[in-house]
Amino acid sequence: MRQPKIIVVGGGLAGLMATIRVAEAGVPVDLFSIVPVKRSHSVCAQGGINAAKNQKGEGDSTAKHFDDTIYGGDFLANQPLVKRMCEAAPGIIDLLDRMGVMFNRTPEGLLDYRRFGGTLYHRTAFAGATTGQQLLYALDEQVRRHESEGKVKKYEGAIFLSAVIDESGVCRGICAMDLRSMEVTTHAADAVIFATGGIGAIFGRSTNSVVCTGSAQSALFQQGVDYANGEFIQVHPTAIPGEDKLRLMSESARGEGGRVWVPKNPAEQRAPRTIPEGERFYFLEEWYPKYGNLVPRDIATRAIHRIVYQERLGLQGKAAVYLDVTHIPRETLDRKLEGILEIYEKFLGVDPRVEPMQVFPAMHYTMGGIWVNGQDQATSVPGIYAAGECEYQYHGANRLGANSLVSCIFGGGLAGTAAVKYAANLQTGTEAVSSAVCEIEKKRQEEKNQALISNQGSENPITIWRELGEIMTEHVTVTRINRNLELADSKIRDLQTRYHKINLSDRTKWSNQTLNFARELENMLILARVVTLGALQRNESRGAHYKPDFPERDDANWLKTTRAKFSDGEIVLTYEPVDISQIPPRPRRYDAAK
């Protein structure tokens, strides 16, 4: 019998879970990652992972988790798979627990749960405030075990360039580049699972890691893999501004009782601790009495923007508000939030246990991503699967905190199983594919490298990237106005023109990070347009997508998935209905219980 072979691209939570599933099925798997997988962006997830285990006797259930997720996502997610994910979540927690994740415990030795945004239940399991790191390590360890048994082969320090797609439109492998030798190689596989994460870099600065450029998704899009709901970008309400990165201050700070406030007097000069209670404006608690500081992220972010830009109540006139945990006992803070408080202390030199933190919203997550079907994470191209943040399936128009880790693991597992099944059922495997298919793709990619290396223009890739980030952050994040979106698109097209005049300051052929970045930049520019055009077209407000000129959700016209296609070099937006078979849409309000 033919032995199938599977490739996984991306070594974060979703990629590692997919890898484990494939290895468990006895199918050899090659795992490609830009960084050693233990350094993937999943380590940045802080607050926790959701599962309705109802371990606090509150009457929580997977049905409630499902409803919170759909409602939080403003009814844009296709419902059946979200339901399955919420039902699978308690089992996922059990699995992680068995893998040895050092979750916080109750005195009885059970897992502890905390509250998170968009729910009224204690549903979030956590390991201090570095839950993503702990989960990633657990999966990394399992993969290392499979690797030591010869079931997994890792290609760390290799970047995905393009899929190898044969004449009949079926994916037969990938083309990758070694980031040291800069050698371009092709790798045959019966199925490829993409778990390439977020796209923060197209916004310049975000809470994302350096590798989260969306380059892989964009490369696939240009090869005919559809991209869905690109316009839905989550801006996290609480991050520490920084020039190199906007560092996340987890929602768990509020889950453990942290409060967001500004002084009522915009001219306030006193130190925050000395300002009496009566002179503080806890605007989230006042505006949203039921959920208070734990409203979903899109709501909290818009509230902070309103405070700063309309009410003019930002701290000392700056774009910042207080996130205050100083009233929480130090022992609790150290046991439950140490990881994030340490970040604040190290990068700003201020102890947040004593002094309220100054935070502001930051681009954080893409709800949109590679289009996948409603059954098994398959994309629009046979043989290509996608899981984790790089696909669009689970979070609708706004993701609830602590749902991303569960969607990564659920989607990754599903993709792994589905890819094995697909590969086993293939009539003809990669052995039947002519070597010319691989050769053509390899040549195409080598020529791109050569063109960039020998280009003699005047443009610096980092400068173009920074301008892209400024355009996207200004016009395509929290508040969207059509004429600004049109302007943004035309500016991105200008950047694309300038890109052709790029001049690399490094033309060497060993570990050339500049060349690699230039390649990613080209893909980022295209993906930025997908996001921008999606936002321009969608004339309504839903979840994270907010247009003051169209302030209401418009189910009659826009209860639709945006599905972007790439056709003859053009981005074409199409729309398809959302599967609302389980929960009928209803108005989404957080100022009252739903």
User: With respect to another protein, which residue has the nearer C-beta, 156 or 268?
Assistant: 156
User: With respect to another protein, which residue has the nearer C-beta, 454 or 505?
Assistant: 505
User: With respect to another protein, which residue has the nearer C-beta, 453 or 583?
Assistant: 453
Query: How many other β-carbons are positioned within 10 Å of the β-carbon of residue 429?
Result: 17
Q: Say which residues have a Cβ less than 8 Å from residue 354's Cβ, sequence separation at least 6.
A: 273, 326
Beta carbon of residue 554, minimum distance to another protein (angstroms, whole number): 39
Do residues 188 and 433 make contact, with C-beta atoms less than 8 angstroms apart? Answer: yes
297 is catalytic: yes
Beta carbon of residue 501, minimum distance to another protein (angstroms, whole number): 16
Query: How many other β-carbons are positioned within 10 Å of the β-carbon of residue 209?
Result: 21
Do residues 160 and 67 make contact, with C-beta atoms less than 8 angstroms apart? Answer: no
Beta carbon of residue 398, minimum distance to another protein (angstroms, whole number): 24
| DSSP-based helix, strand, coil % in the chain, nearest 5 | 40, 20, 40
Do residues 6 and 191 make contact, with C-beta atoms less than 8 angstroms apart? Answer: yes
d(CA 13, CA 428): 31
Q: Which of 205, 254, 297, 563 is catalytic?
A: 297
Using the Cα atoms of residue 338, residue 342, residue 345 and residue 347 in order, give the sign of their dihedral.
negative
Q: How many residues does the chain have?
A: 594
d(CA 278, CA 99): 48
> Where are any strands of DSSP class E within 195-328?
227-228, 233-240, 247-248, 259-263, 280-281, 321-324
Phi, psi of 22 (to 5 degrees): -65, -45
* Interface ranges with another protein (CB under 8 A): 17, 20-21, 24, 35-36, 38-41, 43-44, 91, 94-95, 97-100, 102-110, 127-128, 130, 133-134, 137-138, 141-142, 144-145, 147-148, 180, 209-211, 242-245, 247-248, 335, 339, 343, 346-349, 413, 460, 462-463, 505-506, 508, 510-511, 513-514
d(CA 556, CA 332): 48
d(CA 232, CA 532): 10
Beta carbon of residue 211, minimum distance to another protein (angstroms, whole number): 6
Phi, psi of 89 (to 5 degrees): -55, -45
User: With respect to another protein, which residue has the nearer C-beta, 285 or 355?
Assistant: 355
Beta carbon of residue 126, minimum distance to another protein (angstroms, whole number): 11
CA distances from 150 to 26, 230, 495 (A): 11, 38, 46
CA distances from 456 to 452, 460, 528 (A): 9, 11, 26
User: With respect to another protein, which residue has the nearer C-beta, 127 or 406?
Assistant: 127
CA atoms within 13 A on the CB side of 370: 33
User: With respect to another protein, which residue has the nearer C-beta, 144 or 448?
Assistant: 144
User: With respect to another protein, which residue has the nearer C-beta, 20 or 233?
Assistant: 20
Beta carbon of residue 105, minimum distance to another protein (angstroms, whole number): 4
User: With respect to another protein, which residue has the nearer C-beta, 457 or 587?
Assistant: 457
Do residues 368 and 228 make contact, with C-beta atoms less than 8 angstroms apart? Answer: yes
Q: Which two tokens stand for residue 170?
A: 């079926």
Beta carbon of residue 339, minimum distance to another protein (angstroms, whole number): 8
Do residues 126 and 49 make contact, with C-beta atoms less than 8 angstroms apart? Answer: yes
Beta carbon of residue 112, minimum distance to another protein (angstroms, whole number): 9
Q: Catalogue the active-site residues.
A: 297
